[in-house]
Structure 1
Amino acid sequence: MQILDGKIASQSVKEQLAAEVHQLLAAGNRAPHLAAILVGSNGASETYVASKVKNCAEIGFESTLIRLNADVSEEELLNTIRQLNEDPKIDGILVQLPLPKHISEPKVIETISAEKDVDGFHPVSVGRLVQGLETFIPATPYGIMLMLEHYKIPTKGKHAVVIGRSNIVGRPMSVLLSSNHPYGNCTVTICHSHTPDLAAVCRQGDIIVAALGKPEFVTADMVKEGAIIIDVGITRVEDATAKKGFRIKGDVAFDQVSPKASYITPVPGGVGLMTIAGLMKNTLVAYKRTLQ
Structure 2
Amino acid sequence: MFRMVILTALLAVAAPALADEEPTGDRVAVNGMKMYYEVSGKGDPLIVLHGAYMNIPAMGEIIPVLAETHKVYALEFQGHGRTTDIDRPITYPNLAGDVAAFMDAVGIEKADIFGYSMGAAAGLRFAIDFPERVDQLVAASVAYDYEGWQPAFRDFVPQMSVEMFLEMPFAAEYRELAADPDGFPALVEKLIALEHEPMAWGEDVAALETPVLIITGDADVATLEHSVAMFRLLGGGVMGDMGQPLPASRLAVMPATSHTAVINQPALLHAFIEPFLQGTTPKGFFE
TM-score, normalisation: structure 1: 0.36
| Higher RCO (C-alpha 8 Å, min separation 6) | 1
